[in-house]
Structure 1
Amino acid sequence: MSEPFPIPPFAKECKEKAKEAFGASYVHPFVVALADGSLSSEIFRFYQIQDAKYLESFSDACAILSTKANDPKDKLWLIDAARMSLVVENELHLNYGKKLGYDAKTIADTEPTPSNLAYQNHMVSVALKGSSVEGLSAIAPCPWLYIELGQHLLQKMGTIPESHPYGDWLRMYSDSGFNEYMKNLLALLQKWADQTDAGTREKAILAFEKSVHYEWMFWDQAWTKQTWRH
């Protein structure tokens, strides 16, 4: 499918380097089962709770990056992104929680899986210790993949039936309103890439690639209901 939002040169380079891992998410059994509605509610519940845990760190990474922004507009955008990742997603999680039997306390009391914790640590560590463009590259794959995947699934399905058990999830991520968010994120990524040197850009591409791999691992940790026990 064609890209649903403009992709600046640096973002294109990032995605090209990570294209195999990016595409792997589209065919992961979790995603396939989610789209056709056959995914068990137990696995989806596990995924939703882990996703809520992940988004707390995504918000942290955005907030950290806001302190590295020199332009007040960029700073405000990142602060808003930190807030949106908690507020908007929280609504989806808690709405499903009413159906699947979990709440905010359940989320707070749940331990992140090994893959989830590794992904969170990657994002926050790069945001803290890396350059601004490295940190932004580390968080970009999450919204990019979900938005593109959501719109791909909508295009493939044609319409999302009201009876679909995961219709709210599919409708949220197929919403074209998110395109403006990605347009702004990738424009800022290009701006910061242009302000740095080739070596730092290479590190940023590597941070992006790692996050794309972690995205695949996130589907997998939910599909297998990963635990810390051997």
Structure 2
Amino acid sequence: MQSPFPIPTFALECKTFAKDSFGASFTHPFVLALAKGTLDPKVFRFYQIQDAKYLESFSDACAILSTKVSDPDDKLWLIDAARMALVVEGQLHIGYGKTLGYDANTIANTEPTPNNWAYQNHMVATVMKGSVLEGFCAIAPCPWLYIELGQHLLQEMGSIPQDHPYASWLNMYSDPGFNEYMTHLLARVQKYADLADETSKARAKMVFQQSCNYEWMFWEQAWTNQNWPSR
């Protein structure tokens, strides 16, 4: 499908570089079952709780990255992004928690899966140790993939039935209101790419691809009920 938001040159290079990794999420059995409404509620519950844990680190990554940029507009955007990850998407978790039987205490007391821990550490370590461009490329695939995936599923389905068990999830990520968010995010990716040398840009593409791989692994950890080996 045609992108619902403009994709600047370097962001397009990143997506092209990570094409297989980015596209793999669209055909993961978790995603297909979610769209059909046949996904086991227990699997979705597992995913939602792990997603809430992940978003805490996504928020941390945005907040840390805000300390590495000097432009006040970029600082404010990243601080808002950190807040949005916890507040806006947190409302989705609260809503499903009421029907699937979990709350803030459940989330707080749940250990992230190995895949989830790896993704969180990848983002935070990249933001702390890498360049600003690498930091933006570490966080970009999560919202980019979800927004593009949500709008792709809406296009495939035609409309989202009100009685669909995952209507709230589908409605959130197919909302065109997120297109503005992505426009601003990818504009900043381009801004810092324009300031970077070729070596830094090559590293940033690798970081972007790794985040795309972790996105696929995130569906997988929920689909397979991943856990740590017995202690």
Q: TM-score range by the shorter chain?
A: over 0.9
Q: CA deviation at 1:120?
A: 0.1
The answer to whether structure 1 residue 115 and structure 2 residue 124 are counterparts is no
| Equivalent-residue separation in structure 2 for 1:207 and 1:95 (angstroms) | 33
Q: 1:165 maps to which residue?
A: 165
Normalization by structure 1: what TM-score? 0.99
Q: 2:147 maps to which residue?
A: 147
| Equivalent-residue separation in structure 1 for 2:151 and 2:65 (angstroms) | 28
Query: CA deviation digits over 1:192-211, x for unaligned, max 9?
Result: 11111110111111100000
Q: 1:21 maps to which residue?
A: 21
| Equivalent-residue separation in structure 1 for 2:52 and 2:127 (angstroms) | 19
Q: 2:86 maps to which residue?
A: 86
In the alignment, structure 1 segments of 5+ residues that lack a partner are none
Q: 1:227 maps to which residue?
A: 227
| Equivalent-residue separation in structure 2 for 1:75 and 1:69 (angstroms) | 6
Matched AA of 2:180:
E
The alignment partner of 2:154 has SS state of helix
Matched AA of 2:108:
A
Q: 1:60 maps to which residue?
A: 60
Segments ≥4 residues shifted beyond 4 Å: none
Matched AA of 1:113:
T
Give the % identical residues.
Answer: 69
Q: 2:176 maps to which residue?
A: 176
Q: CA deviation at 1:91?
A: 0.4
Query: CA deviation digits over 1:22-67, x for unaligned, max 9?
Result: 1110000000000000000000000000000000000000001101
Aligned residues, how many?
A: 230
| Equivalent-residue separation in structure 2 for 1:41 and 1:119 (angstroms) | 24
Name the Cα RMSD after superposition: 0.6
Q: CA deviation at 1:229?
A: 1.8
In the alignment, structure 2 segments of 5+ residues that lack a partner are none
